[in-house]
């Protein structure tokens, strides 16, 4: 994964992120108009940043890829496992801002789909054969409930994608060394997607460091996505203050970066 410049923006681009028919990546916090503590490219409406700043930042992102702001699709993320399927041309994307889900998949060109994060992990999916793509918001609740496997299955059901044909990218999120969780999280993983022993390290009685990045990798592999087809960002949101927003580091007073995919 490399840092590239597009218009006024710098974003992290996976190895497959600028191949035939697709543009994909993960925005950083730089290149926008928002003021501290949301400086500067805050793309999340669910913050106390004035809406006109966020709209301006979204316009900057859209224009960098020769799009209009109305061609950028995000949803109301709720830490669930619902997947929005966009399989019709020219939908009213403004409608989807209020749709509650945590993954979007599409086979429609000319629209940018995105998920917003500030410690959770954004995961991108692409099938270069079927020309379909997906974006997934993975926090601990979504990971425990197996959202990545559900997104891969949704791409198969909706677009005929084979997991073995997919490429994926796991964007920046909070590193395990900065992410302490409790028994509630452990029990959710043990009752759900599992892999607890492989992704958690006990640091105190009833406290664990949780490796959500590794959880994403394991769930993609379990879903059938080839390991060598998954590009993984190593940056920790909590540690890279100048580059990335972090909800935990900044006690909630922070912006949101985006994982995005644009089919050509």
Nearest to 83 by CA among 149, 163, 139: 149
Alpha helices, H only, 65-207: 140-144, 147-159, 183-191, 196-199
- pLDDT of the residue at 259: 98
- pLDDT of the residue at 95: 73
CB 216 within 8 A of CB 175: no
CB 102 within 8 A of CB 143: no
| CA geometry: angle 16, 22, 27, nearest 5 deg | 75
| CA geometry: angle 28, 33, 37, nearest 5 deg | 70
Tell me, letter by letter, the H, E, C secondary structure of 243-260.
CCCCCCCCCCCCCCEEEE
Strand locations in 17-166 (E): 22-27, 72-73, 83-86, 103-106, 112-117, 121-127, 132-138
- pLDDT of the residue at 224: 98
- pLDDT of the residue at 56: 97
Residues of the chain with pLDDT under 50: none
- pLDDT of the residue at 67: 94
CB 47 within 8 A of CB 54: yes
CB 33 within 8 A of CB 53: yes
Q: What length is written for the chain?
A: 264
Per-residue tokens: 248: 């935990």
- pLDDT of the residue at 141: 97
- pLDDT of the residue at 166: 98
Pick the CATH number of 2-263 from 3.60.140.10, 3.20.20.150, 3.40.50.880, 3.40.109.10: 3.60.140.10
What is the spatial distance between Cα 259 and Cα 25, in angstroms, rounded to a whole number? 6
- pLDDT of the residue at 97: 81
């Amino acid at each position: 994964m490399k840092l590239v410049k597009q218009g006024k923006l710098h974003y992290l681009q996976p190895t497959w992120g600028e191949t035939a028919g697709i543009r994909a990546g993960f925005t950083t916090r730089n290149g926008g108009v928002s003021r501290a503590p949301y400086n500067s490219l805050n793309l999340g409406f669910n913050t106390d940043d004035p809406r006109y700043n966020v709209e301006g930042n979204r316009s900057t992102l859209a224009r960098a890829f020769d799009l209009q702001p109305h061609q950028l699709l995000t949803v109301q993320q709720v830490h669930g496992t619902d997947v929005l399927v966009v399989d019709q041309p020219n939908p009213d994307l403004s409608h989807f801002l209020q749709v509650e889900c945590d993954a979007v998949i599409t086979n429609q060109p000319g629209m940018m789909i995105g998920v917003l994060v500030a410690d959770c992990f954004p995961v991108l999916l692409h099938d270069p054969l079927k020309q379909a793509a997906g974006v997934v918001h993975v926090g601990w609740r979504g990971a425990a409930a197996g959202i990545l496997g559900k997104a891969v299955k949704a791409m198969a059901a909706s677009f005929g994608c084979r997991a073995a044909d997919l490429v994926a990218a796991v964007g920046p999120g909070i590193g395990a060394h900065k992410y302490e969780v409790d028994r509630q999280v452990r029990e959710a993983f043990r009752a759900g997607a599992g892999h607890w022993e492989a992704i958690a390290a006990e640091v105190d009685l009833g406290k664990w460091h949780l490796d959500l990045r590794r959880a994403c990798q394991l769930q993609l592999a379990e879903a059938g996505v080839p390991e060598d087809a998954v590009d993984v960002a190593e940056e920790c949101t909590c540690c890279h203050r100048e580059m990335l927003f972090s909800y935990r580091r900044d006690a909630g007073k922070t912006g949101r970066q985006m994982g995005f995919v644009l089919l050509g």
